[in-house]
Amino acid sequence: MDKQMLDGKVAIITGASYGMGQTMAELFAEEGASVVLTARGNDKLDAVVEGIRAKGGKAIGVVADVCSLEDTQKVFAETIKKFGDLDILINNAGIGEQKMIDETDDDWMMHVMNTNLGGPMRYIREALKVFMPKNEGVIINISSVNGTRPFCGATYTSTKGALNTLTKNVAMRLVDTNIRCNAVAPGATITPAHLANKAGEQPGGAKMLEYSGHYVYFPGPECEAIDQAYACLYLASRMGRAVRGQVLQVCNGAFL
């Protein structure tokens, strides 16, 4: 049997109770990593953790809100307590939305920004406290094709563009280290959030798509959650050892 690609590694994956985050956690566990899953709710999180353990994987769940510094610090403390180290961080948690700029109030704007951009910044900052002393680690931010083709909500698209910039900024900061920072930018991917978006059920409904639909191939060939997980595995493993500061778009060619 071939050696697992993440044998002995420890990974934190935020927003991992369903969708892409769940699939990433399951794949990473299959490849030998001990995985720490976070989510705001307990029931779905526990079910995913138990599913991984039932297949022989190593996993724990920590209920946490990425908007909370206290919760963020708790996640890292629990990781070190349980597994003794950290090697990989995947910033996956986020809020999808379709609110047009003229429908976006300050409370909503700050909530989405705090989750989609503030969360990754907090987690990266905490991860570097572990990575820097040992001069090793991997950071992967989950962005979106909206980072360059902003057809969804005004705040959502702005945060994804900012996350792309943050990815490059962090990579520049770490260029003289063995710590890599990259991003994966999913296109339309079959997840509960994507299906809700197609049905006009995300905050803001589908009105924005009446304006943005001419500029994008939507709906195009849809990806599956495992396609995004494979991209993360590439970046997290030795295969991606020379890749830094890149935003890897995984969209099945729909958003070229």
Q: Which domains does the chain have, with CATH numbers?
A: 10-249 (3.40.50.720)
Query: Would you call 47 helix, strand, or coil by DSSP?
Result: helix
φ and ψ at residue 243, rounded to 5 degrees: -100, 125
Q: At 14, list the tokens.
A: 């935020």
pLDDT of res. 129: 98
pLDDT of res. 1: 40
pLDDT of res. 31: 98
Among candidate residues 18, 123, 156, 230, the one labeled active-site is 156
pLDDT of res. 194: 81
Which secondary structure element, helix H or strand E, spans residue 141, and what is its range? strand 137-142
pLDDT of res. 131: 98
Catalytic site includes residue 211: no
pTM confidence score = 0.95
| Widest pairwise Cα distance in the chain | 57
Residues 217, 256: Cα–Cα separation, whole Å: 9
Partners of 61 in the β-ladder: 37
Q: At 165, list the tokens.
A: 């910039």
Kindly report the number of other CB atoms within 10 A of residue 175's CB atom. Answer: 12
**Helix 106-113 crosses helix 154-173 at what angle (to 10 degrees)?**
30
The parts of the chain modelled with pLDDT lower than 50 are 1
What are the start-end ranges of the E strands in the chain?
A: 10-13, 34-39, 58-63, 88-91, 137-142, 179-186, 189-190, 223-224, 247-250
DSSP-assigned letter for residue 219: S
Query: Would you call 220 helix, strand, or coil by DSSP?
Result: coil
- pLDDT tens digits, one per residue of 164-177: 999 999 999 999 99
pLDDT of res. 214: 62
pLDDT of res. 110: 98
Sign of the Cα pseudo-torsion (108, 111, 116, 118, in order):
positive
- Roughly how many angstroms between the first and final C-alpha of the chain, as a whole number? 38
